[in-house]
Amino acid sequence: MQSTQTPLRQVVNLRENIKTISTIAFQVNLLGLNAILLAKQFGEVARGFGVISTELRAFSRELAQHMEAISALSVNLVRVETQRLCLRKRHALLQQAEGRSTTDWLPQARQRQLGRLDTLHGEREQTFSAMREHLSDAYQNCLFGTVIARSARIEAAYAGAQGSTLTDTSLAFAQCVDHVLASLDRLKQATGG
């Protein structure tokens, strides 16, 4: 993540990447459904393409599940970062007041704020760790999706002259998977992975 961004801005950027991947997963699912219908239309020459398209739909559903889990974790991250921001402000105010006052409860209150900040920092790191696990699984899933997309191109070639539509569909699959891989790389960086 860029150090010039606020933690909340970083979470917003993270959530945007999650939405992008979820949208692409939905598109792959629709492409897969369309490809299955095309394969049925072309008959026996496109039978393998239909099987591959079913696998791509399964890939898209699994990817969507990972993004849902990461999205839920990002909601928790928003809560943690908001609380951290409030506690930092309170801590700064207590520190200023401590310099101007002789009361003995201000240092204790400031220490409690620091303890809460430490707790939230730990929760933040746990959330990022869980996100990185899902991202790793999603990335592995995507690598498998790349193989499936390549197989779709091969199966489209077997359809012969009729296969141009299938080839276009398989290229769209490949582009979607490549776009997801790039977005996953950005998410990995954003979560410290």
| pLDDT tens profile 53-74 | 899 899 999 999 999 999 999 9
Which of the two residues, 145 and 162, has the higher pLDDT score?
Answer: 145
Q: Taking 90 as the threshold, does the pLDDT of residue 189 lie above it?
A: no
**In the numeric block, which tokens belong to residue 152?**
């779709």
Whether residue 15 is contained in a domain is answered as: yes
pLDDT digits (tens, 9 = 90+) for 91-102: 888 888 877 777
CA distance 142 to 177: 7
Residue 95 pLDDT: 81
What's the whole-number average pLDDT of the chain? 87
Measured CA to CA, the distance from residue 86 to residue 92 in angstroms comes to 10
Q: For the whole model, what pTM was predicted?
A: 0.81
* Residues of the domain holding 143: 7-190
pLDDT value, residue 2:
42
Domains: count for the chain? 1
